[in-house]
Amino acid sequence: MKKIINIGTRGSKLALWQAYYVEELLVKAGYETNIVIIETKGDKILDRSLAKVGSKGIFTEELETQLLEGKIDIAVHSAKDMPSDLGEHFKIIAFTEREQVNDVIISDNKALFEKDKIVLGTSSVRRTALLKKYMPEAEVVNMRGNLQTRIRKMQEGQCDALVLAFAGVHRMGYDNMIVKHLPADVYIPPVGQGSVAIEAAVSIDSEVEKSIVDAINHTESALCLLAERAFLHKLQGGCSIPAFASASISENNSITIKGGVISLDGKELIASEQTGKTTEAETLGKVLAEEILNSGGREILASIKAQ
């Protein structure tokens, strides 16, 4: 008899969408599943920006506790929320097929860009910095909470529009609110955007792990994520630093990773890219990070940490 796989998840609508999606893949492969909803620190503290709360494990810590205690077999996360270093007790065992990676602006106001002054809401330091660089005429305000909470805050007048990942907007069925797609080669997304990561304790039974990987892991997406996460790990960054990286695989089986860092005020941006064989995915991420650090990225990150 096959083991019942207990899936840990946060309770927001988007997190549950991800958990049900993972459940569907497992059920299709013949497994019984059980979804366990767990509240995290990131769900409770909504009055401060992510950078001020401290991003390490803000959306993962409570799920990891239950992984260690064996109450859940896997934890399902947005890959972009995962710290670059999971420590010695945890590992990511699979990544789902990636959604379109770009950011979008959503609003109820279809004539948004005819306004003299636009107020944009986001909780991301990367988006804030990139908007300051490429849309300096807009005012950017901190907007925390799940997708539905942010939309409510926008509709109450706290901002004119929200800047979000296309993946979340699309998965929640809000495509009709998109007023602008931000090009991913300019507004380079954060590491992992658009994919769902499956985390497990390193002590997970190897047969259970293999069956989960076989049912869920998307090879191309996983290679891109390995390159991006190697880049972020070398920078020693989490989601509270304005770093970005996006990898893609071409038809000739080579992988290209574009990435960099930007100062909080948007004035200094350092970006570059590396291309190589897919077998070198992690190495390319590290080489790119080293290049960014040596081109002034080290100074940008040092000044951000000092602030």
Which residues are the active-site residues?
Answer: 81
DSSP string, 35-71: EEE---HHHH--SS-HHHH--TTTTTHHHHHHHHTTS
Q: Write the burial class of residue 96 (CB in 10 Å: 0-12 exposed, 13-18 middle, 19+ buried).
A: buried
CA 143, 145, 150, 156 torsion-angle sign = negative
Integer Rg of the chain from CA: 19
What count of Cα atoms within 13 Å lies in the side-chain half-sphere of residue 202? Answer: 6
Query: Are 82 and 159 a contacting pair, CB within 8 Å?
Result: no
* Residue length of the chain: 307
Nearest Cα residue to 120 out of 150, 137, 147, 141:
141
CA 109, 115, 119, 121 torsion-angle sign = positive
Nearest Cα residue to 47 out of 158, 142, 147:
142
